Structures are given as C-alpha cells and as structure tokens.
C-alpha cells in the first residue's frame, strides 16, 4: 500500500507487515468528523461517508480517538465498557463496516486503547469500591492512606492535588495518575492483565489494524520509584506484543509515552514491545526553531534521540488533540514557549498550550507549510490532526481541551456541513470567527481552489509516498554556517531492500521520466538500481537566507526539486550554494546525469 | 586501517619518500607565496630560500604530493604542492587561480589542498596510515593555516607559518582534552617534525555555527519590527529582548558555564598562580600610558577607574587564559558550545600570550564581543541598506558621526540585548561550581577586575580601529564612555 495506494489491505494478515514505517497517519475525533444521523454528534457511519475524502488526501492510516462506552468526562479516555461502542457513535457492526470500507480503499484503522485506567463508572470499579472483599476488590489500586508512592508526580496539576482520592464507600484511597474519576487498574492482579489481552484480541478480531496505547508508562506502581517506566510495565508490553505478533501479524502498537527520547526508546524494547512511539519533544522544538530562527532546537533533540531497533519507527506530529506538550522541555524553554505562543492565560492548559496549528503560527501559511515539510521529511511517520490540512482554527473559550475539538469544517453551509441537526444540538459549535470560521476555511472551498493549503498538503503526501526513504531512510544533517538553515539528507539505510528497489525516482513516474538522470551514489550497472536519496533544506527565518552546503559527497549529482521536478545546477567541487525565500523549503532528489541528450538541464553544470 | 569515524589519537609520522624538489620549481614559489592569505609580507619576496623539501607521496598517474619549508622575510612557511601532468591539472585547478604556481616542462604545480585526491593522500601520509577518508573538503585558507575537512568527521589544520616548536593551539587543545574539558573538538592527530607542529587534526564539529553568526541571528530578529499581535493599536513593548523570538540569553548562559569549565580545566592543566600582583601592576601601568589615546573629556573618569583597579587587594588567581576569546572563537553544535583556537591574539608576542592572567580577562573579552556584535548589527548591518538607498558611503557618514536615524533608534535595543545576555553569561559563568576558587572572594572585586580587562580590551580595540578601520573607532569609544560611568 505504500506504492501510490494501489495495493489494498486484505483485512487480516498483510504481506507488508512494516506498513506503518511508510504510512501517514490521520487522527480523527469521531465526535467531530461527520454526523450521519443528524443528532449533532459525529458518528462512525459519518466517518465511513468521508473515507473517500481521506483516500483522496492520501492518508494511509486513520487513528480514532476512543469510541468506547464512556461517561465522557475526559473525551472518552474514561472508558466504562471496553466491549461496546458509545451509542452516539454507532455499534460494533459500524466499526466492522468502517474497517472493511477503509481496507477496500487501501487504508488502515487504529484506535486508542486506554489500558492504565477506567472511568469510575466502569462496572469493575463500581464493584471494587463496594467493600474490601468483593471479587474485584483488587482490580484497582487501593490504600489505607494517601502517602504511598509519594515520588510519583501529579500530571494534571491544574485539577488534581494528589494521585490518591478517598472513596467514602470503601473507606480507602484509590490510585489515579490522571483525573480522580479515572482510577488506575491494578496490573499486579493477573485477572486484570489477562482481561486487557482479551480486550485487545476482541478488537483485532473485529479488524482493527492496531492500537495507540494511551499512557503506557504508568501501568505498574512500585514503592520508592516515580512509578513510571517500570520493568514490570515493559514485561507486560512484551507479553502484549508477543500475543499480537503471533495471532495478528501486521498489526501495530503505538505507544504514548511523554518522556525524553532516551527513555521513550525503552518502549520499543529490543524490537519486542511497541512498533511505534510518539516522539514528543521534537514537536515543541519545531515551533521553537521557527521562533528562534535557528535549527539547534531541532537538531539537538535529534542528536540526542537514540536510534530505534529494526522495524520500529517514531510517530511525529505537529499538533494533536492534546496540548502543545511542554512537559519535555526545560522550565526556561517552557516559559519561553508560553510567552511566545500563549500570551492569553486561557490558552494555557496544564503543562501545555491548547491551540491548533494555524493559530499557533498566526495563520502564516508559509510557516505552516515549512513545519509540514519538516513533519513529512524528518525520520518517523507523520501524524496529522483532523482539520489541520485545511488550516482550521480553535476556540479557546470552550472548556478543557474542547477548543481544538470543534466540528470538522466541510463546507460553508449550515453547521459547517458537519451536521444537519439544529445548531443548538451540536456537541460543540463550529468555528465562526472571520479568520478561521467555516465560511472561509472549509474542505469544499479548498478542493475547488488549486492553490489551497489542502491541495498543497495532498501534493506533499503524494511526493512523500513516492519516496519510501522518507519513512525508512537514515537522516544526516548537512552542515551550514547559516544557523537559520536546516538541511539534511535522507538515504536508504543499508539493506533496506524496499527503498533500494524503489530506486532513484521512488515511484514517481514523472521524475523517472526526467531524461537522463539516475539516482545518487549508485553503481551504473543495469542490474543495480541507484538508491533514492533526498536532500531537504528549510529556512527557519522570516527573512530570505543564503546557504552554502558541503555536498561534495554528491559531487556531479543534479538536485531535482520534487514538487516541480525542476533540475537545479549540479553539485560541484565547492559548496552547493542556494537561496531560500522566507520560511522557504526544498526537497530534492539527488540524481546523476546519464549519457547525453539531456533536455531538462538548466543552469551551469560544473562537471 | 582506521577510518576517520573511528577516532584514535594518532601522533602522526613524518617521512619523505624522496628528498629534493624538482628543478625549476623554486622560481615559481615567490609569486605564489605572495598571493596567499597566510603570507605575512606584501609583494613578491625579494629573497626566498627552500629550507627543506621533497616528495611526500607518489600518486598514480604520475602525480606527486610535494612538501617544503621555505623562508621569506625571516618567516618560515610550510608548503604542500601538487605536481601533475599539465593536462590532468587543468580541470583540478579551475576556479583556484590563486593556488596555481605554473608549469615546468609539462608538469603543473599548484596548492595540494585544493585537490581532493592530494588532500586524502596527505591525511594518510600524515597519520602514518592510521586514517583514511573518502571525501576531502578544503575550507579555504585562514590567516595562519589551511584547513581540510575529511568525511565531515575530521578537520586537519595545516599550519602555514611555522614558529618552530609546538603550536600553541595544538598544545592547549590537547592539554584541555586530557584535563577532561568536553567542549574542545577532540584532538585526533598531531603531525610533527622534530619538535615542530606541522598539522593538527581534530574531530570536526559538523552542523556547528560560530557564536558571532548566532548572535547576529538574534539581533536581526530584535532589530526588525514584527507585526502587531493582539488587539488595538497599542504597540507592543519591543525593547525587551526576552519577549522576542530570537532571544539569546539561554545560549549566553550556557556559554558562560562552558567558559568557567574551560578555566577550571586550564587551571588543572597548566596550574595557577596566587601571587601575580606584579604583572597586574604592570598591566595597570601600561593602561595608564594608553590613556593618552582617549579624549580629554574622559581622562578624569579613566583615572578614577584606574585608582579603583590599583586599590584591589584580592585579585584571585592567574592562569593561562584562552587569550583571544570572542564570539567568533566559540561554536554552537548539537552538543552545546565548543571553544576553538587557543593560539591567543596572533598579533601579540608569544611570551605575552602565555602570561597568566585572571580568568576575568577572557570573560571581559567575551562581553566586549557581545558589544561588538550589537554595534556591528546596529551601526553597519542594519544601517547599510538605508545608506545605500541615500547613495551615501558608510565610512564617510560614520566619520562625520552620522550613522543614520535607524542606528540611534536601535541603540536602546542594543543596550538591552547586551545587558540581558551579559548578565546571562555571567550567571552561567558564576553558577559553575569551583569557579569561585579562581576569582576574588568579593563579587564587587570581581566586577572591578572585569572592568580592568574591559578597559584593556577597549583601549586595544581603539588603537586597532584607529589604525585600520577609523569608522569603527566609535564602538570602543562608546564602550569606554560607559565603562567610565557615562550614558
């Protein structure tokens, strides 16, 4: 399926078990995507109705926020029944149909799974809290006092004072790393550990292609530790992975562990825990690099990111349904990000900033495109957040994190084309402000406008898909004296047969047709396909910038710009000189001119 | 065979495969030498003597890498020359006319460092085969050396002016690395002949940017207005660099900490001296003599500062300083700041560069460099466009004291930037544990000591600028006025 979306997903096992390394993910809030039954809330049939759109956009895998039965006090992350779908969203049969329809279009579906805790409305908890002897008495973490595990930090500092809350009914304290209405399950109880594997098997049987595992560092608690990243937690993840690999090959486990990369990498294990982990610290640093107009915030975090085991990938993102996560930057950097991006105190949420991408960059399309060009070309699989492909805004006056969860803006029609319910019935009002409101920002208008950000996004995803090296290649930063310029080369890792076989032009027939060029570094034998090598250059400054790039290793190669397939002057003996407009970026394939009769040549070639 | 990405420190090896240079080459050397940036004289030397020379490496296709030491006007120079059949050379020297010597009997001669194949052969020969690279990239000549980067992993500095004996930079860098200072590029190769350093190889700091460029990036952002954010017509307060995207303070603070670590390692490697008041007094004596260069209006204030400097009873310790510490000598990399180039101020005599001083000297010099960065950006970079538009020449306007309305409008921003980043640098410096052992106990004394070195540096700058760039003299003059308590 990585090839131009021609392959189709069979639904159970797939020959391409590493699909996630080349995939582009798209995060969907079912509630906010499309309302099929006109009740004011998005639903799974609504998402099915929009699969054609996502296929057209070039999405490979859809990530669904929790769709399980829930009192919805935390956006569905407070599950009250793992076996059923929230009735507003649909039924199990709808999920099965969604999976089938997506697979038919070459797309996959993964879903959030909250293993660490349940809602306090979950029958397990209702039973557990009754007394100290009931059959589920040990399914949660109970204590006579609130002093145990004192070294564990409180994560939601705005709302919670302690990780313990007193349950008056049972007369004991229960443990919760997040909200007090989300008691942590007790994984030391084998029944709990086994039951969660039942949950996993149940949904994989229905056809899901994997899970985004919420809050994985916190499964176990131990005295004298901070109760994060414990060996017991890793052991349980290995058990889960083994189960998934043996019964359901080609499924993916994506860990949410908001930690420093050197700690997060533990969740890949030796390639025997999660297939993917989110790279959290990269995200705020991409914003910071643009603000500072220098590359070091990005390059230094990449330099301290350990390499991942074979078959593993980072999930990288610019924004998601949570805050601009600042837990992983230093205090000083956090203050700085706050002062830069969240002058309004309402925008502060917990340890982060609750804004969408477009308002974060003051609706500057150049910055948005630059940031996306980084997202699509840095090592890892990009994760888009619904609505960011059209530059949707947010509503900071809605409570909690709802500001970035407003309805998808499909058209300038009533309710943004999201729902035909009465306006007052909508789960949240669509944006109606003059800059980001649905009258000006919507899918329909942007599909009709070839120069829209939506079309730009689609084109970028297309180019990315044509060059698997973006997903699986190594990355080497190219030195330049200009701190505002970030340049790097993506090359196939040794022994990546697929990227090698993809060859210089990737699977872009038009690029292959640029007469007389073959790829960088290759032997020119007829049998050997030269590898796909891509050079990425970005200008992080709001001013035009020059750069001298030491590309001598590719001397004689011609950089061909990937969006327009325009050949640039060949790399000569000296540094490669290039100028970039404000926030400009280029992606080049490095190709070798072959033979004579080159028609596409431009500029002075130095060879 | 060790590839260059597998570093092991190599002592290098010198050996010629054949003594003697080709006949007829000698007459080409003078004009070539005169074109080099590292040549100390001016014009073709009247007399040039080949002290020693020969073939360093025989290469395929009848090519040779030649090595020689020549003497011209009492200076010794190291030459590395390529010899190739003339038809092979043409392509290789294209664009490097200054590096070309000419031809003798169908053999072409040119500077070997512009020829990647020759540069690769040089590395292999100099390291006794310990290092082998795939790509050589000449960085171009600097004032006293020529550098080549190998595989983006190693940089080899080829010393052009040979003083005879160890090279200061190679010596200090190696000693600091041994003392555990993590912020110098790791030394990996010292190529020597007898006691003389010929070339020095270090880990290449790929992706690095020097502090000067980074400071100018920050100032560029500060000096360029941003569109308004928020509501209303009220302009945001732009004078606070802390609120601007390009804020440099975190970098400055980290640089301060690295500077303190450098001084602690200097103390460990070369020792310290507690009793150095004689050399402090002689410094004050020469400062007093230099006061004749400044305007009458400032002399009174200057003398009272000197008085304070003389009355300092606690000077802290003296140690080997960096000696030429400024933003251009530090490099930001993905692993933080690195310190480069321990040769000291090239225009001062070696014994003066080796003289122990208070570590506050380097601190003062870096703070002067912050001042230069802001002044450079204010008076020149930002104003240039404005002046070009007016058709005026910058030097003549500056000489008349008219540096344009933009510059004076930017002055408060410059001042705020300098203060914020100077404070951050000092905060980082003093936060390094152990540094207090090297400094006067009383913070007020530290401050006074620093002002003494700032005075020394500014006076040096003043004489330099007046001699070579009169239009820049306003920068040290302005600094002196502030040092003396002026606005």
What is the ipTM metric for this complex? 0.81
CB contact B245 to A (< 8 Å): yes
**Is A12 inside a domain boundary?**
no
Residue A10 pLDDT grade (very low, low, confident, very high; cuts 50, 70, 90): low
Total number of domains in chain A: 3
Alpha-carbon distance of A533 to A474, in angstroms, equals 10
Do A306 and A445 lie in one domain? The reply is yes
Please answer whether residues B139 and B148 qualify as being in contact, where contact means their C-beta atoms are separated by less than 8 angstroms: yes
> Best residue in A484, A488, A557 to probe B by mutation, most B CBs within 10 Å?
A484
> What pLDDT is recorded for position B282?
92
Provide the residue-wise pLDDT of chain B in tens; the chain has 487 residues.
Answer: 345 545 556 667 788 988 999 988 999 999 999 999 889 888 888 889 999 999 999 999 999 999 999 999 889 999 999 999 999 998 888 888 889 999 999 999 999 999 999 999 999 999 988 889 998 988 876 778 899 999 888 999 999 999 888 899 999 999 999 999 999 999 999 999 988 999 999 999 988 999 999 999 999 888 887 655 554 555 555 667 777 778 899 999 999 999 999 999 999 999 999 989 999 999 999 999 988 888 788 888 888 899 999 999 999 999 999 999 999 999 999 989 999 999 888 778 888 888 899 999 999 999 999 999 998 888 765 566 555 555 555 555 555 555 555 666 788 888 999 999 999 999 999 999 999 999 999 999 999 999 999 999 999 999 989 998 888 888 899 899 889 886 5
Alpha-carbon distance of B34 to A496, in angstroms, equals 53
> What pLDDT is recorded for position A519?
58
> What pLDDT is recorded for position A512?
61
Alpha-carbon distance of A32 to A29, in angstroms, equals 5
Q: Which of B224, B245, B334 sits opposite A296 (nearest CB)?
A: B334
Residues B80-107: tens digit of each pLDDT? 999 999 999 988 888 888 899 999 999 9
Residue A598 pLDDT grade (very low, low, confident, very high; cuts 50, 70, 90): very low
- Residues 366-425, chain B: which have Cβ within 8 Å of A? none
**Which distant-in-sequence residues (6+ apart) come within 8 Å of B480 by Cβ?**
B294, B298, B302, B455, B458, B459, B462
Alpha-carbon distance of A163 to A227, in angstroms, equals 11
Give the number of beta-carbon pairs within 8 Å between A and B: 68
Question: What's the gap in Å between the CA of A269 and the closest CA on chain B?
Answer: 26
Do A125 and A110 lie in one domain? The reply is no
Q: In 10 A of CB B381, how many CB atoms? A: 15
> Best residue in B90, B115, B137 to probe A by mutation, most A CBs within 10 Å?
B137
Q: Which domain holds residue A566?
A: 473-593
- Residues 160-219, chain B: which have Cβ within 8 Å of A? 206-210, 213-214, 217
Q: What is the DSSP letter of B357?
A: B
Question: What's the gap in Å between the CA of B166 and the closest CA on chain A?
Answer: 30
Please answer whether residues B206 and A477 qualify as being in contact, where contact means their C-beta atoms are separated by less than 8 angstroms: yes
Do A340 and A399 lie in one domain? The reply is yes
Residues A274-296: tens digit of each pLDDT? 999 999 888 888 988 998 899 99
**Is A9 inside a domain boundary?**
no
> What pLDDT is recorded for position A509?
60
Range B211-225+238-483 has CATH code 3.40.50.2300? no
Please answer whether residues A530 and A600 qualify as being in contact, where contact means their C-beta atoms are separated by less than 8 angstroms: no
Query: Is beta strand A61-64 parallel, antiparallel or unpaired with respect to B330-333?
Result: unpaired
**Is A285 inside a domain boundary?**
yes
List the CATH number of the domain containing A524.
2.60.40.1180
Do A178 and A219 lie in one domain? The reply is no
List the CATH number of the domain containing A162.
3.90.400.10
A523 pLDDT more than 50: no
Alpha-carbon distance of A360 to A298, in angstroms, equals 18
> What pLDDT is recorded for position A526?
39
Q: Which of A441, A463, A485 is the last residue of a domain?
A: A463
Q: In 10 A of CB A197, how many CB atoms? A: 15
Please answer whether residues A92 and A44 qualify as being in contact, where contact means their C-beta atoms are separated by less than 8 angstroms: no
> What pLDDT is recorded for position A234?
96
**Is A161 inside a domain boundary?**
yes
Residues A331-364: tens digit of each pLDDT? 666 666 666 555 555 445 544 567 889 988 888 9
Alpha-carbon distance of A26 to A467, in angstroms, equals 19
CA contacts within 13 A on the Cβ side of A23: 34
Q: What is the DSSP letter of A301?
A: H
**Which distant-in-sequence residues (6+ apart) come within 8 Å of A518 by Cβ?**
A504, A524, A530, A591, A592, A594
**Is A270 inside a domain boundary?**
yes
Q: In 10 A of CB B161, how many CB atoms? A: 16
Do A311 and A200 lie in one domain? The reply is yes
Q: Which of B135, B213, B336 sits opposite A553 (nearest CB)?
A: B135
- A462 or A329, which is more confident: A462
Do A401 and A528 lie in one domain? The reply is no
Q: Which of A184, A205, A226 is the last residue of a domain?
A: A184
The DSSP-derived string for A230-269 is -HHHHHHHHHHHHHHHHHSTT-EEEE---S-HHHHGGGGT
> What pLDDT is recorded for position A601?
38
> What pLDDT is recorded for position B239?
66
Please answer whether residues A122 and A110 qualify as being in contact, where contact means their C-beta atoms are separated by less than 8 angstroms: no
Do A337 and A263 lie in one domain? The reply is yes
Supply the residues of A annotated as catalytic: 214, 256
Do A217 and A103 lie in one domain? The reply is yes
Residues A224-249: tens digit of each pLDDT? 999 999 999 999 999 999 999 999 99
> What pLDDT is recorded for position B382?
57
List the CATH number of the domain containing A256.
3.20.20.80
Do A386 and A489 lie in one domain? The reply is no
> What pLDDT is recorded for position B383?
60
Do A256 and A331 lie in one domain? The reply is yes
Residue A110, classed as helix, strand or coil, is strand
Backbone angles phi, psi at B372, to 5 degrees: -60, -40
Do A231 and A373 lie in one domain? The reply is yes
Task: Tell me the pLDDT of chain A averaged across its residues.
Answer: 87
Do A240 and A226 lie in one domain? The reply is yes
Most distant CA atoms of chain B, gap in Å:
81
Residues A414-430: tens digit of each pLDDT? 999 999 999 999 999 99
**Which distant-in-sequence residues (6+ apart) come within 8 Å of A308 by Cβ?**
A265, A268, A314
Question: What's the gap in Å between the CA of B428 and the closest CA on chain A?
Answer: 14
The number of angstroms, rounded, from the C-alpha of A302 to the middle of its chain's C-alpha atoms is 17
**Is A296 inside a domain boundary?**
yes
> What pLDDT is recorded for position A599?
39
Q: Which residues of chain B form CATH 3.90.1200.10?
A: 211-225+238-483
Please answer whether residues B81 and B66 qualify as being in contact, where contact means their C-beta atoms are separated by less than 8 angstroms: yes
CA angle B285, B290, B291 (to 5 degrees): 100
Backbone angles phi, psi at A60, to 5 degrees: -100, -30
Residue B201, classed as helix, strand or coil, is strand
> What pLDDT is recorded for position A498?
53
> What pLDDT is recorded for position A393?
94
**Which distant-in-sequence residues (6+ apart) come within 8 Å of A440 by Cβ?**
A434
Q: What is the DSSP letter of A140?
A: B
DSSP H helical segments within A157-306, as ranges? Answer: 190-206, 231-247, 261-264, 282-292, 296-303
């Amino acid at each position: 399926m990585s090839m131009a979306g021609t392959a189709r997903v069979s639904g159970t096992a797939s020959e391409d078990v590493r699909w996630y390394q080349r995939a582009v993910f798209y995060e969907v809030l079912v509630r906010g995507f499309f309302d099929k039954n006109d009740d004011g809330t998005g639903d799974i049939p609504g998402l099915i109705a929009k699969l054609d759109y996502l296929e057209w956009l070039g999405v490979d895998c859809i990530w669904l926020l929790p769709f399980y039965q829930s009192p919805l006090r935390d956006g569905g992350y407070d599950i009250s029944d793992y076996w059923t779908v929230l009735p507003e969203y649909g039924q199990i049969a709808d999920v099965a149909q969604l999976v089938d329809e997506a697979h038919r279009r070459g797309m996959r579906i993964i879903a959030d799974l909250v293993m660490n805790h349940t809602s306090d409305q979950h029958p397990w908890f209702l039973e557990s809290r009754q007394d100290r002897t009931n059959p589920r008495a040990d399914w949660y973490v109970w204590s006579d006092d609130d002093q145990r595990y004192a070294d564990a930090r409180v994560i939601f500092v705005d709302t919670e004072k302690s990780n313990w809350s007193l349950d008056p009914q049972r007369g004991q304290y229960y443990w919760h790393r997040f909200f007090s209405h989300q008691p942590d399950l007790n994984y030391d109880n084998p029944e709990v550990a086994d039951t969660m594997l039942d949950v996993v098997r149940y949904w994989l049987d229905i056809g899901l292609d994997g899970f985004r595992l919420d809050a994985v560092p916190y499964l176990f608690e131990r005295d004298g530790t901070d109760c994060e990243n414990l060996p017991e937690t890793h052991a349980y993840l290995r058990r889960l992975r083994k189960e998934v690999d043996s019964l359901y090959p080609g499924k993916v486990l994506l860990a949410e562990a908001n930690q420093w990369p050197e700690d997060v990498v533990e969740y890949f294990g030796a390639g025997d825990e999660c297939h993917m982990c989110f790279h959290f610290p990269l995200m705020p640093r991409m914003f910071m690099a643009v603000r500072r107009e220098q590359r070091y915030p990005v390059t230094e975090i990449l330099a301290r990111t350990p390499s991942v085991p074979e078959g593993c990938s980072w999930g990288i993102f610019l924004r998601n349904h949570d805050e601009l996560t600042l837990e992983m930057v230093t205090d000083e950097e956090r203050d700085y990000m706050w002062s830069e991006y969240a002058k309004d105190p309402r925008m502060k949420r917990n340890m982060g900033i609750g804004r969408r991408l477009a308002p974060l960059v003051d609706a500057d399309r150049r910055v948005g495109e630059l940031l996306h060009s980084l997202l699509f070309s840095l090592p890892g699989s990009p994760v888009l957040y619904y609505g960011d492909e059209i530059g949707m805004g947010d509503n900071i006056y809605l409570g909690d994190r709802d500001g970035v969860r407003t309805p998808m803006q499909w058209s300038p029609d009533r309710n943004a084309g999201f729902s035909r319910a009465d306006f007052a019935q909508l789960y949240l009002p669509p944006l109606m402000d003059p800059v980001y409101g649905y009258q000006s920002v919507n899918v329909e208008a942007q599909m009709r406008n070839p120069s829209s950000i939506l079309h730009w996004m689609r084109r970028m995803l297309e180019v990315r898909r044509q060059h698997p090296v973006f997903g699986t290649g190594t990355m080497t930063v190219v030195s330049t004296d200009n701190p505002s310029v970030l340049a790097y080369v993506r090359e196939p890792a040794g022994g990546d047969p697929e990227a090698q076989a993809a060859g210089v032009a990737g699977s872009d027939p038009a690029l292959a047709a640029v007469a007389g060029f073959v790829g960088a570094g290759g032997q020119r034998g007829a049998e050997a396909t030269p590898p796909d090598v891509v050079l990425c250059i970005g200008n992080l400054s709001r001013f035009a910038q020059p750069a001298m790039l030491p590309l001598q290793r590719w001397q004689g190669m011609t950089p061909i710009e990937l969006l327009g397939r325009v050949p640039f002057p060949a790399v000569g003996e000296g540094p490669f000189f290039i100028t970039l407009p404000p926030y400009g970026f280029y992606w080049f394939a490095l190709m070798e001119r072959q033979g004579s009769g080159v028609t596409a040549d431009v500029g002075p070639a130095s060879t | 065979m060790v590839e260059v990405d597998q570093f092991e420190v190599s002592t290098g090896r010198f050996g010629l495969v054949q003594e003697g240079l080709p006949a007829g080459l000698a007459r080409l050397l003078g004009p070539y030498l005169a074109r080099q940036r590292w040549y100390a004289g001016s014009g073709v030397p009247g007399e040039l003597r080949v002290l020693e020379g020969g073939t360093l490496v025989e290469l395929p296709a009848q090519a040779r890498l030649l090595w020689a030491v020549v003497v011209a006007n009492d200076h010794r120079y190291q030459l590395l020359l390529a010899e190739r059949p003339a038809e092979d050379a043409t392509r290789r020297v294209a664009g490097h006319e200054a590096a070309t010597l000419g031809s003798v009997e169908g053999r072409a001669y040119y500077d070997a460092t512009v020829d990647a194949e020759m540069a690769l052969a040089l590395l292999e020969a100099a390291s006794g085969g310990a290092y082998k690279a795939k790509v050589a990239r000449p960085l171009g000549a600097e004032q006293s050396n020529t550098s080549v980067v190998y595989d983006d992993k190693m940089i080899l500095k080829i010393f052009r002016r040979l003083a005879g004996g160890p090279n200061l930079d190679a010596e200090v860098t190696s000693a600091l690395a041994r003392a555990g200072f993590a912020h110098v590029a790791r030394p990996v190769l010292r190529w020597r002949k007898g006691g003389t350093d010929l070339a020095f190889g270090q880990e290449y700091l790929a992706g690095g940017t020097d502090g000067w460029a980074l400071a100018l990036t920050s100032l560029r952002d500060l000096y360029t207005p941003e569109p308004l954010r928020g509501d209303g017509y009220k302009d945001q307060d732009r004078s606070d660099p802390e609120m601007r995207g390009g804020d440099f303070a975190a970098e400055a603070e980290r640089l301060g900490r690295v500077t303190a670590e450098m001084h602690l390692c200097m103390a460990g490697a070369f020792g310290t001296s507690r009793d150095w008041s004689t050399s402090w007094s002689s410094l004050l004596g020469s400062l007093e003599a230099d006061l004749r260069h400044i305007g009458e209006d400032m002399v009174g204030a200057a003398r009272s500062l000197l008085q304070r400097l003389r009355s300092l009873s606690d000077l802290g310790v003296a140690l080997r300083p960096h000696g030429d510490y400024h933003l251009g000598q530090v490099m930001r990399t993905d692993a933080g700041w690195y310190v480069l180039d321990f040769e000291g101020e090239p225009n001062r005599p070696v014994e003066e560069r080796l003289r122990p001083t208070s570590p506050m000297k380097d601190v003062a010099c870096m703070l002067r460099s912050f001042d230069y960065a802001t002044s450079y950006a204010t008076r020149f970079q930002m104003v240039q466009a404005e002046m070009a538009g007016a058709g005026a020449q910058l030097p003549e306007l500056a000489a008349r004291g008219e540096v344009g309305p933009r510059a004076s409008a930017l002055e408060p921003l410059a001042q705020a930037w300098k203060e914020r980043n100077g404070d951050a640098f000092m905060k980082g410096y003093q936060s390094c544990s152990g540094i207090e052992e090297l400094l006067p106990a009383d913070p007020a004394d530290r401050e006074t000591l620093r002002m003494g070195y700032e005075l020394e540096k500014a006076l040096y700058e003043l004489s330099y600028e007046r001699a070579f760039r009169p239009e820049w003299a306003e920068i040290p003059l302005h600094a002196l006025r502030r040092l003396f308590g002026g606005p």
